[in-house]
Copies of this chain bind each other. A is one copy, B any other.
Amino acid sequence: MKDKRILTGKQIAVKVGTLNIGGDNPSIMIAGPCAVESRQQVIDTALALKEVGVDVLRGGVFKPRTSPYTFQGMGLKGLEYLKEAGEKINTPIITELMDEKNLDAVVEYSDIIQIGSRNMYNYSLLKEVGGINKPILLKRGMSASIKEWVMAAEYIAAYGNNNIILCERGIRTFEVYTRNTLDLAAVPIMKSETGLPIIVDPSHGTGRKELIMPMAKGALACGADGLMVEVHIDPTEALSDGQQSLNPKEYKKMILELNRCSF
């Protein structure tokens, strides 16, 4: 990769409020439901997470669903609930932005702005978030090569914003046992290629809750700066991704186990 580049591998830490992500900082934990489904659900989940420990509260309000006929997210109402939940537990929040139309609202409410896997190639949107002054979490496209992912980050940086956190969430392969194939080698590669912090999403990366814990350990051992995990107050009732969501008790078990390790 000899292209012109702003992100050259020099280590960058991203600041979110009082939180520092990447560099030599301790790994962080982003957790929360796949989608905000109601005020009660997101607040209950937030309180449960707070008890165990969480650094950033996640929750989708605009959902890029394969079918136009399934739940598309609560929209701005959901964003308000997520904000309220975050404030209740005194924790920054992250949500996904799908289009320029909702840019202002998401920038106003959310502490980190997520660009989802399906929009990693949406260069118009990348340019837009390159022009704002908030940290961006850039998920890897579901079949994006390392080079394409690096250059997607470069789009954001080229337009003025290098507060970028990368997120490996699995790639599409022939394997059907897991929802995606979690490519943990991307962790040391992307750190060395861009210097940016990188976190791993074992929920989407595997699609199976029993694999979240081992892959969370693997991710941190490979050098990930944090994890993003789907936690739902009651996964069996979740409107999306229930099979890959932990309940609060399982989340607690994972945190305890991770704390026992030294990587």
Interface residues of A (CB under 8 A from B): 3-4, 64-69, 98-101, 118-119, 121-125, 127, 142-143, 145-148, 151, 154-155, 158-159, 171-178, 181-185, 187-189, 192, 205-206, 210-211, 214-215, 217-223, 260-263
In the complex, chain B residues whose CB is within 8 Å of the CB of A147: 66, 177
Report the bound CA distance from A151 to B70 in whole Å.
11
In the complex, chain B residues whose CB is within 8 Å of the CB of A158: 68-69
Closest partner residue, chain B, to A190 (CB atom): B177
Least Cβ–Cβ distance between A118 and chain B, in angstroms: 3
| 6 A-B pairs with least C-beta separation | A221-B221, A143-B143, A118-B121, A99-B124, A218-B222, A146-B177
In the complex, chain B residues whose CB is within 8 Å of the CB of A125: 99
Report the bound CA distance from A261 to B154 in whole Å.
34
Contact status of A65 and B219, CB under 8 A, knowing A146-B177, A175-B171: no
Contact status of A146 and B122, CB under 8 A, knowing A219-B218, A262-B262: no
